[in-house]
């Protein structure tokens, strides 16, 4: 009887160890980091921007945008609204208020739109 009990416990522990190794851990704060945002089909062609997102002292998500084509360009501050797996980023560009709505696709990708008119994607930069 002791052998049966020992075998059962060994199989149980082996199963638990395989299950715990199979779990993937998502980033502790999903949106924090650098994201390359691509906007497809604008009148001026496709556009790429680099967004750098951080948490401030109050726990709010903040950030800034940089034009990927010109790293010396002025950094544009972003106002961010967070709703679970979705973020809405707002900023001012050339006198226009612009919004980008992005939703989590997987651990390193977001998908959404710019101003509800153009498709947008974002990929985490590592």
- The DSSP output letter for 105 is E
Lowest mean pLDDT among 14-23, 53-62, 74-83, 92-101: 14-23
pLDDT over threshold 60, residue 58 = yes
CATH class (in words) of the domain with range 33-125: mainly beta
Query: Predicted confidence band at 126 (pLDDT cuts at 50, 70, 90)?
Result: confident
| Domain chopping of the chain, boundaries | 33-125
- The DSSP output letter for 126 is -
Alpha helices (runs of H) in the chain, residue ranges in sequence order: 2-22
User: What digits encode the pLDDT tens for the residues 83-120?
Assistant: 999 999 999 988 999 999 999 999 999 999 999 999 99
Q: What is the 3-state secondary structure (H, E, C) of 29-68?
A: CCCCEEEEEEEEEECCEEEEEEEEEEECCCCCEEEEEEEC
pLDDT over threshold 60, residue 30 = yes
Average pLDDT, the chain: 84
**Pairing mode of beta strands 61-67, 76-83:** antiparallel
Give the angle subtended at the CA of 48 by the CAs of 24 and 110, to the nearest 5°. 30
**Pairing mode of beta strands 96-106, 45-55:** unpaired
Q: Residues near 74 by Cβ (< 8 Å), separated by ≥ 6? A: none
């Amino acid at each position: 009887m002791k052998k049966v009990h020992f075998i059962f416990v060994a199989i149980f522990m082996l199963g638990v160890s395989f299950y715990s190794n199979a779990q993937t851990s998502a980033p502790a704060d999903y949106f924090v980091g650098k994201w390359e945002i691509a906007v497809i089909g604008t009148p001026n062609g496709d556009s790429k921007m680099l967004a750098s997102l951080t948490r401030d002292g109050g726990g709010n998500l903040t950030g800034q945008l940089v034009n990927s084509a010109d790293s010396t360009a002025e950094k544009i501050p972003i106002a961010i609204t967070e709703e679970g797996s979705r973020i809405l980023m707002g900023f001012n560009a050339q006198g226009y208020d612009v919004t980008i709505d992005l939703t989590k696709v997987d651990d390193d990708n977001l998908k959404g739109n710019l101003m509800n008119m153009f498709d947008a994607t974002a990929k985490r930069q590592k």
